[in-house]
Amino acid sequence: MENKFVFLDITSIGINPMNPRKTFDPRALGELSDSIKVVGVLQPITVRPKPTEEHGEKYQLVCGERRWRAAAMAGLKEIPAIIRELTDDEAVDVAITENLQRKDVSPLEEADAFKYLLDKGQSIADLCGRFGKSEFYVRGRMKLLAISDDFRKMLDAGEISISQAMEIAKFDADIQGRMYEQHFAQQYYNSWHDLNAKALYQRVVQSYTKILDRYKFDKGECDTCPNCSKNFSLFAGGDGEATCQDDSCLQRKKREYELGIALKLQKQHPEADFYTMHKDCPKKAELEKQGHEVKIWPGWPNRIGAVVTKELRSKVENGTAHLAIWVYSDDPYFGYIETNGAATLSETANSIKELQNKDNRNKELEEEKTVSEVRDTIKKMDIETLSAGELTAYESQLTLFILVRNLNKEQQEKLGTVQHYSMSDEEAWNAVMNVTPEQIAYIHRCNILNQVGDHFRRDFKTDLFFDWVNSRDKSIIPEVELKYREVYLRRKEKIDARIAEIELAEAEKGK
């Protein structure tokens, strides 16, 4: 059947989900349909056989989906086609090659196609030679893969230009999300739709990014990071001071650096307490995770050097001053806080509450670390350990508990429980403890049913499910099979008749 030309029933052809072409202009499709009504399909589509046990031979589109769609719109029953024997990889490769040779191929379709071929082992140089593109062009298209779904839709719709999309792709997902919501989702006064590429890049840098030289942490990793603007020259020209486009990474490095300074100061001055101005300070949360107490103070401590003077030491000892490591600012420092001496009743109550909160957090840490370590130990159990001994009654109950938790709300309700949302763990366990043999069978069968999924091909797993259906009701499958077998036989009769006509015509020509 290699490269065989035939006329195929349009309904016997299915689309290829791997087709690199995803968009079809409705107006252009309508114009092509009108043309086909007059002159027919001039260039055959390319298909490959896709046999199934139930329905006999069917076909999958490889090239020509636009012609196939337009022919169907024009009311054609048959379409000229070339049948080729192709593997999945070969079919995608042929479709990509045909698609990239179009004049109207979209930039994102090119990018997706280039990525597919690169993932299959081809090099940038291979793509340049195969499609007659420069390395700059291919790398530029690949950069488009970094834009968000919202901007992909805008680019496909022509609402932003390729050059704008190239600049947008330089920024991380968080910045792209905020940029889209604030400046592209609506055509308000602050819209950036009409900015040229250079102006757009500068506006994003000013609004969403940070100049790296203003930060004190080690920037060694930034020298080769693709989110550093000085590295954009690999694709398009970035200029000016180096900025970071990944705000989450920047804030993490900044926080880690500042925490390192604070912990170093605490090691140098173990008698000092950590202080901040607000309870929602990020460094407060990080330090408390590590088991440190962080106190709240409404003012700024006095900054001092590394040495505590005798006068200050005396104030600390008589309670009129406290040594402090201030973590609220971007630059943690060692200092002291002056007080009025004796604590007020309110201050005492606050101190007790702080200590109680600290104890509660310590208890939470104990539970979290215990659960985490036990979980990790269980995951590392070897096959020999898990295979030893017979299955216990408790293990059977635990397995049944897992199966109950996998049921959907409607299935759970039929076990006799009533809840507004899904069953809680406690309710599921109670159901397992009081379950009847009939309910056990029901739970297992519901789990089988939930595993059926969206199967369209006859394979080993499908056969297992079919056997299960037959064990429950032997009439279901034969009725369905008979219905579609009749459809197939009618279509086959038409195809066989058409083939016979073509072969007869060819034979007449040869005489």
Active site residues per annotation: 65
Handedness of CA 453, 454, 459, 462 (dihedral sign): positive
Measured CA to CA, the distance from residue 309 to residue 301 in angstroms comes to: 16
Q: Are 65 and 29 in contact (CB under 8 A)?
A: no
Q: Are 151 and 168 in contact (CB under 8 A)?
A: yes
Handedness of CA 457, 491, 90, 120 (dihedral sign): negative
Which residue in the block uniquely carries the two structure tokens 């379709």?
Answer: 109
Q: Closest Cα partner for 269 from 215, 317, 308, 327?
A: 308
Measured CA to CA, the distance from residue 45 to residue 21 in angstroms comes to: 15
In a 13 Å sphere around the CA of 212, the CA atoms on its Cβ side amount to 22
Which residue in the block uniquely carries the two structure tokens 């947008």?
Answer: 168
Residue 303 belongs to what H/E stretch? Answer: strand 302-303
Torsion of CA 28, 33, 35, 36, to 10 degrees: 140
Measured CA to CA, the distance from residue 476 to residue 470 in angstroms comes to: 7
Structure-block tokens of residue 410: 């409607």
Handedness of CA 5, 11, 12, 14 (dihedral sign): positive
